[in-house]
Amino acid sequence: MLRGLPFPADPLYMRGDMAPPPLLLLTDIRLNFGTTPLLAGASLGVGAGERLTLVGRNGSGKSTLLKIAAGLAEPDGGTRFVQPGATVRYLPQEPDLSGFPTTLAYVESGLGPGDDPYRARYLLEQLGLSGEETPAVLSGGEARRAALARVLAPQPDILLLDEPTNHLDLPAIEWLEGELRSLRSALVLISHDRRFLENLSRAMVWLDRGVTRRLDQGFAHFEAWRDQVLEDEEREAHKLTRKIAREEDWLRYGVTARRKRNVRRLGELHDLRKRRRERVGALGKVSMAAAEAGGSGSLVVSAEEISKTYDGRTVVAPFSTRVLRGDRVGIVGPNGAGKTTLLNMLTGNLPPDSGEIRLGTGLEMVSLDQRRASLDPAMTLQKALTGDDSDLVHVGGTARHVIGYMKDFLFPPEQARTPLGVLSGGERGRVMLARAMARPSNLLVLDEPTNDLDLETLDLLQELIADYAGTVLLVSHDRDFLDRCTTSVIAYEGAGRWQEYAGGYSDMVAQRGHGVQARASASTLAPARSTPAPLPQAGEALAGPRRLNMREREALKTLPARMDKLHAEIRKLGEILADPGLYARDKPRFDKASAMLAERQAELAKAEEEWLELEMLREAAEGN
């Protein structure tokens, strides 16, 4: 039995001792796609000034329900009521600006007779647009900003916002939060940005298996409530199964007694079986684990005074950092600041104009890019996962059937032959994750990994990063995701300057005094901080950092090649010992290889430690 707070019918709202009637009410909304029910009695009530969040899995029907609320889609059944005179504005996931000569004309087309025309220009300016842009050449982020200005300008009674933070950078997201808080409009939000929801929501509507449940508390309370609902439902399912088993036992052994009672009980059994058939089980959970390769060296990335300039504009001013094994480093900044450029330099995919990048030994890198560029729309889901349209996916060297692996990422078997081009944005995001997680790695590079993912998939991605033994470099605008996943944050400071802060996004704000700014004045910024030099040893404090002697300079030069050689030997010995029959077949060789492996691992650890100490001494002496 589905549980939760039911939505009242219209007459209940009209009682004098209750709250005033809602501005918008959807009741018993039903909609099928073919023979599959998407909405099976969903309801939504929005009162004046309410702040609602609509949550649910990707594909659960949230966007469809919001379109029905906006009057842009017709359900198969149910009713939609809007208070006479109430104004409603709707922000779609993909706004259509075609047919308008400028962004200002597009925004002004959403104004009513009594609306303030100056507010349209004001909002565009606040969102970084002049109003003279040609819509056809706008980026996804610019189109989203124009669409936001269009729905915000009239200050309507009800705002229906579908993923309003998509394609927005952190300054724009934080501005939008402030703007929405200042409005008297009722809000219905769909978003995967937890911090955004925590800051704005006052009630939750959970769309699950076609029906809605309401919680009159904010997002911070939602997950505990949802889990309790599912636990209660599971207990009900077990009780139903036990009752059916008892009735079936009676049917087999007691059907000859007192016929009238038997007929009634037989009818009850049929009813119970019908309830079980009609009960839609809770959707499975994403099962996500990265296939991990052997360990990398202690040093993963060393960047020394790297810089990058495009067309005379400094994207990265001289910047230094060091990334060690196990670090989780986030990169944040406004759109166009150069986050992806910096990420590509740190991973060796883009050479710096000046300075030096050194990558550690034994790195096996897996990347997830924000553009989903590697997904061929004509390719089937099965081929995207297997690579050759076979039945097997190789996950960390282990063969798995593609259908089982698809289920781990919530794809039903019938989607195996579905072209990627017809999948939703969230589904394509899960395909990218599934492909990335199958490849062995010790360095995960994630560029906007949270785009289009639902909250539960985001939870599991966060758990994956927490459990991952390797190193993670990521770009994200999701503040909650950064807080949960990063050990340090590299933030844009303006004029190409970047600075690293220990901790997550909130720690960065605490140290910095503010979040990511859209435009920073170069004159007010401190120079970008390089990696701090180590604390001086006893006896060095007064004399200052000493220079490397000749032996140390030679060691610093030759140690990287030595570490590469040791890592190759360790890998070869590991392959020998991976033979399951070696111990029984040739114990002396097994013992010798084991001893050599331990010896080489110790040598590698010593070499890495020596190299790091010398590198830090060199940086301190040169004042890097």
For every residue of 2-53, which 3-state class applies, written as one string? CCCECCCCHHHHCCCCCCCCCCEEEEEEEEEECCEEEEEEEEEEECCCCEEE
Q: Which of 368, 482, 389 is nearest to 431 (CA)?
A: 368
Per the structure block, which two tokens stand in for 29? Answer: 């909304």
Tokens describing residue 480: 């909650």
> How many distinct helices (H) and strands (E) make up the chain?
19, 20
Q: Are the CB atoms for 58 and 38 separated by under 8 Å? A: no
Residue type, 27: T
Give φ, ψ of 575 to 5 degrees: -65, -40
Q: Residue ranges of the alpha helices (H) in 52-169?
A: 62-70, 103-108, 117-126, 140-152
Q: Could you tell me which residues come within 8 angstroms of residue 64 by beta carbon, excluding any fewer than 6 positions away?
A: 31, 38, 39, 73
Question: Can you say how many angstroms the Cα of residue 323 is from the centroid of all Cα atoms in its chain?
Answer: 23
Alpha carbons within 13 A on the beta-carbon side of 230: 14
The kind and range of the H/E element at 400 are strand 398-401
Angle between helices 170-182 and 140-152 (to 10 degrees): 10
Please say whether the beta carbons of 300 and 294 come within 8 A. no
CA–CA gap between residue 412 and residue 406 (Å, rounded) = 7
C-beta separation of 140 from 163 below 8 A = no
pLDDT value for 204: 94
Strands 88-91 and 158-162: parallel
Say what the pLDDT of residue 374 is.
65
Only one residue has tokens 């670090």, namely 327
Orientation of helix 425-438 relative to helix 455-467, angle to 10°: 20
Class of domain 10-224: alpha beta
**Residues in the chain, pLDDT under 70:** 1-20, 237-297, 369-374, 396-397, 514-546, 619-624
CA 23 to chain centre: 33
The residues that bridge with 323 in the sheet, in sequence order, are 301
Closest to 478 in 3D by CA, of 519, 513, 448, 434? 448
* 3-class SS shares of the chain: helix, strand, coil, % to 5: 40, 20, 35
pTM to 2 decimal places: 0.67
- pLDDT value at residue 265: 52
CA–CA distance from 560 to each of 139, 323, 390 (Å)?
Answer: 43, 16, 41
**Vertex 600: Cα angle to 595 and 606 (nearest 5):** 130
550-622 has which fold?
Helix Hairpins (1.10.287)
Provide the pLDDT for residue 136.
Answer: 86
Domain ranges of the chain: 10-224, 225-278, 300-364+441-532, 376-439, 550-622
Which CATH architecture fits 300-364+441-532? 3-Layer(aba) Sandwich (3.40)
Q: How far apart are CA 69 and CA 85, in angstroms?
A: 16
- Fold match between 10-224 and 550-622? no
Do the beta carbons of residue 462 and residue 486 sit within 8 Å? no
Q: Is there a contact between 28 and 77 (Cβ–Cβ < 8 Å)? A: yes
SS3 for 601? Answer: helix
- Dihedral angle computed from the Cα positions of residues 478, 479, 482 and 484, in that order, rounded to the nearest 10 degrees: -110
